[in-house]
Amino acid sequence: MRAGTLAAALGMAVALATGCAAGPTDSPTDSSGDACAGDLPPRTSPTDYPVAVLHLDGDDLAPVVGAVDWQGGETPVATTAARAIHLERFTVLLARDTSEMSVRMSDEVAIDEWRVDALPADGFRAGDTETGTEWSRGSEATELICVPLESGRWVIRAELTFTDGDGRGTYYWRVDVDGTGSS
């Protein structure tokens, strides 16, 4: 791992731990519970590459970064998780009676293609990082991906390709969903 990449990863960890990155919204808006509202607040990455932000039940959750290949800045950046992804520390976002979540990028980066999978949390923590269900896939430029939810304890994996050939990234989050609000 290059020194600059290590410093960026450490900087992101510090920013996330202190709440300086994409954390819960500071002031709720009228649509704070609407994961697919077009007026979600913009986020800025504390690193030299953009990060994906998951919005669920009125809260933003920063990711655990699996890998990023960023070509859109002044200097290209490639980074991967410091250890096996299932061993990384995750913040768990709890949601009740909600039917969708969304994923968007920091720094006004748009998404060209995506695949969002849900992996059972227990299997993931035991090392099964592949068994899961595809929840969303698309290949049109967008700033916001809306994803339907299912009840359960999940690790969400988003594999994203950025617009304009700016690279790609794989991001992870832990969510526990109790009910989906669709009854």
CA 176/CA 92 separation, integer angstroms: 7
Give first-to-last CA distance, the chain, whole Å.
48
Residue 171 backbone phi and psi in degrees, to 5: -130, 150
Percent of the chain with pLDDT over 90: 69
Please report whether residue 31 resides in a domain. Answer: no
Span of 10-14, 54-58, 67-71, 150-154 with lowest mean pLDDT: 10-14
- What gap in Å lies between CA 99 and CA 41, rounded to an integer? 20
CATH number of 67's domain: 2.60.40
Domain total for the chain?
1
Residue 143 lies in a domain: yes
pLDDT tops 60 at residue 28: no
The answer to the question of residue 32 being in a domain is no
Question: How far is the C-alpha of 36 from the C-alpha of 59, rounded, in Å?
Answer: 12
Lowest mean pLDDT: which of 23-27, 43-47, 149-153, 168-172?
23-27
pLDDT tens for 103-157 read 999 999 999 999 999 999 999 999 999 999 999 999 999 999 999 999 999 999 9
Domain limits at 144? 3-23+38-178
Count each helix (H run) and each strand (E run) in the chain, helices first: 2, 11
Domain presence at residue 157: yes
Predicted model pTM? 0.81
Strand locations in 20-144, DSSP E? 52-56, 59-61, 64-70, 77-80, 92-96, 100-105, 111-120, 133-138
